[in-house]
């Protein structure tokens, strides 16, 4: 399969998952149920592909909780890329973020060893992945974040009735910004932030849809 075929297959799987959720939301109890379901959908098409790294070791294109090639501050509902020299208040380095699910570029796998591809050694991975991406195309063909609200979203009590909804929207944007940064630095070719919300009233669903409509990488699914 070409990179274009892989991206199309991933897009189709995301659409299929959203259709299933809208039709039968009670199939999913947790956010991890959604991640696993999407993984299974993709595995049926992409999982059988055997990609060998430069040392001849077998790999799959699909991985969950794959780390970012940058450190970031995600305290509260904020997102900010942090340099390797910046420290937290107690002197610790900032940690990397993670993507719920990625589809790796087969050529990235073929060009590197397992030690680089698995992305656990930050300094080596950052150098190799970003350098390769700048010269050859994105190391990750598709990066995906999923967010699941199992309970109906409601307006807040008190004077600011939209506080809880706006706080939720900030959390969505936080993960979306992490994906956008990955695309902006060339590490990821395509990204989707998919929000699943169950049991919310039509007026609140519309409010959320409008507030998130400026981000073309954010997809909202209501059931």
Buried b (16+ CB within 10 A) or exposed e, 81-115: bbeeeeeeeeeeebebbebbbbbbbbbbbebbeee
Give this prediction's pTM: 0.92
Cβ atoms of 72 and 179 closer than 8 Å: no
Q: What is the mean pLDDT of residues 47-57?
A: 90
Residue 84's Cβ-side half-sphere holds a number of Cα atoms within 13 Å equal to 6
Tokens of 167: 């706080």
> What are 101-141's pLDDT values in tens digits?
999 999 999 999 999 999 999 999 999 999 999 999 999 99
> What are 161-204's pLDDT values in tens digits?
888 899 999 999 999 999 999 999 999 999 999 999 999 899 99
Tokens of 113: 């060893």
**pLDDT for the residue 91:** 78
Domain extent, residue 107, equals: 3-222
Average confidence score pLDDT of the chain: 93
> What are 76-94's pLDDT values in tens digits?
778 999 988 898 877 789 9
For residue 73, list its beta bridge partners: 80
pLDDT of residue 155 exceeding 90? no
Instruction: Tell me how many domains the chain contains.
Output: 1
pLDDT of residue 48 exceeding 80? no
Confidence of residue 215 (pLDDT cuts 50, 70, 90): low
Find how far residue 90's CA is from the centre of its chain. 29
């Amino acid at each position: 399969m070409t990179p274009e075929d892989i991206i199309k297959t991933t897009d189709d799987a995301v659409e299929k998952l959203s259709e299933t959720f809208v039709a039968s939301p009670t199939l999913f109890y947790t956010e991890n149920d959604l991640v696993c379901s999407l993984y299974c959908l993709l595995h049926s098409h992409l999982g059988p592909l055997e990609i060998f790294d430069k040392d001849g070791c077998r790999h799959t294109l699909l991985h969950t909780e794959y780390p970012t090639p940058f450190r970031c501050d995600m305290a509260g509902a904020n997102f900010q890329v942090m340099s390797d020299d910046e420290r937290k208040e107690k002197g610790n380095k900032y940690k990397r973020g993670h993507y719920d699910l990625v589809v790796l570029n087969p050529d990235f796998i073929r060009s590197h060893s397992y030690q680089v591809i698995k992305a656990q050694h930050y300094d080596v991975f950052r150098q190799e992945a970003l350098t390769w991406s700048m010269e050859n195309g994105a190391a990750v063909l598709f990066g995906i974040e999923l967010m699941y609200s199992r309970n109906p979203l409601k307006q807040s009590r008190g004077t600011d009735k939209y506080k809880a909804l706006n706080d939720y929207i900030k959390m969505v944007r936080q993960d979306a910004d992490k994906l956008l940064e990955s695309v902006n630095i060339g590490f990821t070719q395509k990204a989707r932030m998919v929000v699943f919300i169950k049991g919310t009233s039509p007026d609140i669903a519309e409010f959320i849809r409008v507030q998130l409509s400026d981000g073309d990488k954010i997809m909202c699914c209501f059931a």
